[in-house]
């Protein structure tokens, strides 16, 4: 079973600016500095594009983790999708959508994930991972939005 959630962030930045910040490896590392997230393989700096991969090394829940994601779809400046190709999840998909608004833009993050380890993983998804990832994505959105 897959867990999903949606996070929306308003910004005074244009959707084009916010789109590029959301796919910036450097901005991601800055926004996740508390977890020590570093790009260690693939695209490790600048903007990531469709078909490209990045491998992240981080520490979450006190555990060292590695995750490789690929940009599987991109339609500038409306939408792009990244999906885990190797890492701690059984499946992980993150859809980034951008709309122009009267004051700037709206970024919508749609995240779907499945933890490993069968029934035990499903319990962890619901009790811990969903809230943890929602907070992580919300904080990242606020960082990118410039708040």
Question: Among 82, 95, 81, 107, which residue's Cα sits nearest to residue 14?
Answer: 107
Q: For 87-97, how does the pLDDT look when each residue is reduced to its tens digit (9 = 90+)?
A: 999 999 999 99
Please give the mean pLDDT across all residues of the chain: 94
* pLDDT for position 117: 82
Helices 15-22, 130-145: crossing angle, 10 deg rounding: 130
Strands 53-60 and 63-75: antiparallel
Helices (H) and strands (E) in the chain, counts: 4, 7
User: Would you state the pLDDT for residue 1?
Assistant: 56
pLDDT classification of 57: cutoffs 50, 70, 90:
very high
List of E strands, 76-142: 79-86, 91-101, 104-114
């Amino acid at each position: 079973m897959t867990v999903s959630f949606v996070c929306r962030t308003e910004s005074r930045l244009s959707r084009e600016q916010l789109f590029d910040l959301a796919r910036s490896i450097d901005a991601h590392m800055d926004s996740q500095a508390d977890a020590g997230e570093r790009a260690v393989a693939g695209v490790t700096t600048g903007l990531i594009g469709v078909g490209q991969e990045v491998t992240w090394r981080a520490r979450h829940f006190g555990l060292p983790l590695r995750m490789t994601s690929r940009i599987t779809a991109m339609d500038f400046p409306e939408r792009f999708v990244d999906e885990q190709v190797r890492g701690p999840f059984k499946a992980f998909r993150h859809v980034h959508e951008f709309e122009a608004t009267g004051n700037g833009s709206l970024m919508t993050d749609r995240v779907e994930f499945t933890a490993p380890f069968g029934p035990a993983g499903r319990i962890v998804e619901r009790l811990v991972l969903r809230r943890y990832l929602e907070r992580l994505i919300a904080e990242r959105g606020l960082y990118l939005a410039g708040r």
